[in-house]
Amino acid sequence: MTLNNEEKEIILNSIRDIPDFPKPGIIFKDITTLLSNPKALNTLMTHLENRYKDYNLDFIAGIDARGFIFGSILADRLGIGFVPVRKKGKLPYTTVAEKYSLEYGFDEVEIHIDAFASEGHDGKGAKVLLIDDLIATGGTAKAVASLIDKVGAICVEVCFIMELGFLKGREGIDAPVYSVLQID
């Protein structure tokens, strides 16, 4: 399932470009204007709901912080659980962590060790959709897909609202990747 041209325009036109942020030469894709536009947000979330309603997912995992927004809304629409993936040191219970490289150094993400457990189920084999707002180089998403695997769940697909295709970030992810909008 893909968006038609009118739906793509509604979503794309609601995303603001901020030149030279966070540093010169970068054009930042600001989704706050998408979130404050009810028509665009509903268009996006209805599309994602229709795409994933027959995947028989157990959980949506969202990457800190913008993945929390889209992931929570989608989990609610699908009637399934939401799991936050946080930066190191932000979760209160026993966690599993994964390091990933950045332009200058490393960062780390983590999830609770029992993140995908539910009533009467230990979480092994749980079907999980990973979601975030944007994929650039793919390092964070690759690390989170690895975390999902480490705790015994299955990353069914990784979903992004936007993909910066010229950076080829999807190539390092060991799960199917779907992007609502591709920017080259």
The answer to whether 99 and 33 have CB atoms below 8 angstroms apart is no
pLDDT at position 2: 83
Q: What amino acid is encoded at 106 in this protein?
A: F
pLDDT number for residue 38: 98
Residues with a known catalytic role: 66, 103
* pLDDT value for 142: 96
Rounded CA-CA distance 129/63 in Å is 11
**pLDDT > 90? residue 63:** yes
Residue 80 has pLDDT above 90, yes or no: yes
> How large is the average pLDDT for residues 107-111?
95
> For residue range 132-168, what is the model confidence (pLDDT) as tens digits?
999 999 999 999 999 999 999 999 999 999 999 999 9
What is the CATH topology of the domain spanning 55-183?
A: Rossmann fold (3.40.50)
Q: What is the pLDDT of residue 184?
A: 84
Tens of pLDDT, residues 4-43: 999 999 999 999 999 999 899 989 999 999 999 999 999 9
* CA distance linking residue 36 with residue 161, whole number of Å: 16
State the pLDDT at residue 5: 94
The per-residue pLDDT of the chain, averaged, comes to 94
Query: CA angle at residue 122 from 117 to 125, to 5 degrees?
Result: 90
Average pLDDT over residues 160-177: 94
Which pLDDT value is given to residue 102? 75
Does the pLDDT of residue 108 top 90, yes or no? Answer: yes
Tokens of 80: 């399934």
Q: Please tell me the predicted confidence (pLDDT) of residue 101.
A: 86
Phi-psi region of 152 (alpha: psi -120 to 50; beta: other; left: phi over 0): left
Residue 118 scores a pLDDT above 90: no
